[in-house]
Amino acid sequence: MEIIVAKTAGFCFGVERAVNMVYDQLKAAGGPVYTYGPVIHNETVTGEIRAMGGTELPEDLTRLPERGTVVIRSHGAGPDVYEALRRKGLTVSDATCPFVLKIHKIVREASEAGRTVLIAGNADHPEVKATLAWCTGPAYVIGNAEEAASVLQKAGKAAVLVAQTTFSMKKFQDIVEIIPKSGYDINVVNTICNATRERQAEARSLARTADVMIVIGGRHSSNTQKLAEICRSACPRTCFIQTFQDLNADDVKGAKRIGITAGASTPKKIIQEVRRKCQSYRSLNSF
């Protein structure tokens, strides 16, 4: 039996940077440390942060603590959040992914120039909500090509299209294909980060040759959900798990080639634990 772990599996640059910023603040122990929402979508990591003394801020910004440091999560936040934290006198440590900050700049400038903002992404995702908060004019979220046609009817003749950094590359391309037919002046900026593109492409390629595909990540992780969707389209025996404890022998029974990938919020140690568990099934002749 062959076990192949995708080279791109696990923490991306932005997530690793955000997690390290939280850990650094907690180790400094200069006062209470808070995160604006879960710093990343991984229950193992957020559980460790809580165990170290970190606390998530309440969504109600009128109930902020009197002192401490607040780490803005990797998904970013709107200008109202920064203003509320500063008014309260809290120290802000900004762990927003640099690629997300780039999108904030694009939509803010487009709005100020009078363009409608179109965001290809999941309307319920915190990154998309934060991006919307930086728009000063009309802005719409497009989840797929089917939604694009109706949204374009509402948009102004001049618009800019960006994407959630972890959006599906295929869905983005499907949306872009509709734009020339609209006759609108739409500036398309592909803001899906390179790490996401590479991860999705590698997962698709690996899934095509695997008997079983294992996708590791948090249930609420948008990029991991998309990886699972991509893998299932190529490999029906795709398992979406959070930790090695979710995997059992029946999941990989009879497999000669197992592929493993993981979302951008999955620590390396969890990937290694899953690999070791697969190896233990092989050594126990469970196949």
Beta carbons within 10 angstroms of residue 267's beta carbon: 20
Placement of tokens 């920064």 in the chain: 82
State the pLDDT at residue 21. 94
- Taking domain 13-96, whether its CATH number is 3.40.50.11270 is answered by yes
Q: What angle do CA 158, 193, 24 make, to 5 degrees?
A: 125
Q: Is the pLDDT of residue 284 over 60?
A: no
- Taking domain 99-192, whether its CATH number is 3.40.1010.20 is answered by yes
State the pLDDT at residue 287. 42
Encode pLDDT of 31-80 as tens digits: 899 999 888 888 888 899 999 999 998 777 888 988 999 999 999 999 99
Give the pTM. Answer: 0.85
Report which of 51, 50, 49, 55 is spatially closest to residue 32, judged by C-alpha positions: 55
Write out the catalytic residue numbers.
Answer: 127
Encode pLDDT of 150-185 as tens digits: 888 877 789 999 999 999 999 999 999 988 777 778
State the pLDDT at residue 61. 84
Encode pLDDT of 176-192 as tens digits: 998 877 777 889 999 99
Residues of the chain with CATH 3.40.50.11270: 13-96
Distance CA 88, CA 199 (A): 40
Residues of the chain with CATH 3.40.1010.20: 2-10+195-283, 99-192
Percent of the chain with pLDDT over 90: 74
Distance CA 262, CA 91 (A): 33
239, amino acid identity: C
| 283 — pLDDT class (breaks 50, 70, 90) | low
Distance CA 135, CA 107 (A): 6
Distance CA 230, CA 206 (A): 11
Q: Which CATH class is domain 2-10+195-283?
A: alpha beta
Q: What is the mean pLDDT of the chain?
A: 91
